[in-house]
Amino acid sequence: MEFLRERKVHFETYGCTFNYADTGKLMDIALSQGCKVVPADEADTVVINTCTVVAQTERAMIRAVQDYSDRDVVVTGCMPVVQAELLRSVRPDIRIILPEEIYRHSERIGHSVEGGVGVVQMGTGCLGSCSYCITRFARGELHSNPVADIVSETERLISEGVHEIQLTGQDVSAYGYDNGENLGTLLKAMAEVEGEFEIRAGMMNPKTVLPYLDEIIDGFLSDKIFKFIHIPVQSGSDRVLSDMGRGYTSADFERIVTEFRKKVPDIRVSTDLIVGFPTESEEDFKETLEMVKRVCPTKVNITRFSVRENTPAAEYKDMPDWIKKERSRALTIAVHDIYNRNNESLIGRIIPVSVTEKKKAGTVIARDRSYNNIVVMGDHSIGESFDAEITGHRTHYLIGEKI
């Protein structure tokens, strides 16, 4: 950390929302030590916050390091924890800042990012034992931040003009397993903060949702919580889920979704799927496809399995890429059909939205209560709320007009 003094620094961040919050804190530390944040072409030092969740991402990180061969490079994030030697083999003089060093030097557990959005970290680590995951080795055991600290950070961000709070962690629904709390009570406490804002809960593991399902659903009933859940199921086959070490069944996942939909009107369901896990047969894949068609999630992140070194799944024989691609295409076709049907059912509806981002000139990005991504024509202000009519869609987003 001492190295980041009186330097012109460019920051690059990859991966999850958690990483972006870490970068924000590291940027504050650098500024307090006399550094100046500049574009890449003006920097003498580049800080890269890395992700290594899949092999493709790892390769992108290596390219990013190599792109700055004429500058001092500092890396943080997951890679230096689990792949420090790989980084040094590419760049022997590379400097490493471990995430724990950032936390030791920063009193904050969150940061504001562009567009009136603030990120609050519920803690670090997880309780998972997923056989394919390298991130759990990078982030370690679960450590939940106290409710009072999270509420205080939320208050600070709201006072700075933030309109959306993103609650993030490696597994948000694991919150409190180590301190006697749970996600439901945390959401209720955050929702009691005064101000005009909404909270988006981050990724939740079905395994840690199940024991507190009723309490977590109750936490989502507040008007200040987006009606949006991100619950990765990863496979529709119980046999594959067992080999993955996920700790739940496909039926467990479907029960969670059913209960949320029963008690939380207009809940939007996002999930993740891994195709081509080494033990996934054609029949296993069909079970995944049928599960998706039953559940009809409104967003699906599809990842082709890739081997991560030193994980239990690395002991399996990987399957050919052409099978992974074929299954990925079939799944993509199925989920796009679901997207289109869901989107078309919303056309003509008038719904309250809030502006969260400005991207292309003449348009803004707004979110409704279900966290749908809506492109609205016009030059509206961040945080502005109004009723919008849904007039169309482009598969991955809706199009609306202010009423």
**Domain 109-226, CATH class in plain words:** alpha beta
Taking the domains of the chain in order of start, what are their residue ranges? Answer: 8-102, 109-226, 347-402
Mark 243-278 as b/e (b = at least 16 C-beta within 10 Å).
bbbbbbbbebbbbbbebbeeebeebbbbbbbbbbbb
- Number of Cβ within 10 Å of residue 16's Cβ equals 19
pLDDT of residue 351: 96
Which tokens in the block code for residue 276?
Answer: 């081509």
The predicted structure's pLDDT at residue 2? 84
Q: Are 200 and 226 in contact (CB under 8 A)?
A: yes
Count of Cβ atoms closer than 10 Å to residue 120 Cβ: 28
| CATH topology classification for 8-102 | Rossmann fold (3.40.50)
CATH class belonging to 347-402: mainly beta
Q: How far apart are CA 277 and CA 280, in angstroms?
A: 5
Tell me if domain 8-102 and domain 347-402 are identical in fold. Answer: no
Give me the pLDDT at residue 113, please. 78
pTM of the model: 0.93
pLDDT, position 268: 97
Closest CA to 22 of 63, 73, 79, 72: 79
- Burial annotation 96-115 (CB, 10 A radius, 16+ → b, else e): ebbbeebbebbebbbbbbeb
Q: What is the 3-state secondary structure (H, E, C) of 267-278?
A: CEEEEEEEECCC
User: pLDDT 10s digit of each residue in the chain, 403 long?
Assistant: 788 999 999 999 999 999 999 999 999 999 999 999 999 999 999 999 999 999 999 999 999 999 999 999 999 999 999 999 999 999 999 999 999 999 999 988 988 877 789 999 999 999 999 999 999 999 999 999 999 999 999 999 999 999 999 999 999 999 999 999 999 999 999 999 999 999 999 999 999 999 999 999 999 999 999 999 999 999 999 999 999 999 999 999 999 999 999 999 899 999 999 999 999 999 999 999 999 999 999 999 999 999 999 999 999 999 999 999 999 999 999 999 999 999 999 999 999 999 988 878 889 999 999 999 999 999 898 889 999 999 999 999 999 999 9
Alpha-carbon dihedral 99, 113, 41, 89, rounded to 10 degrees:
20
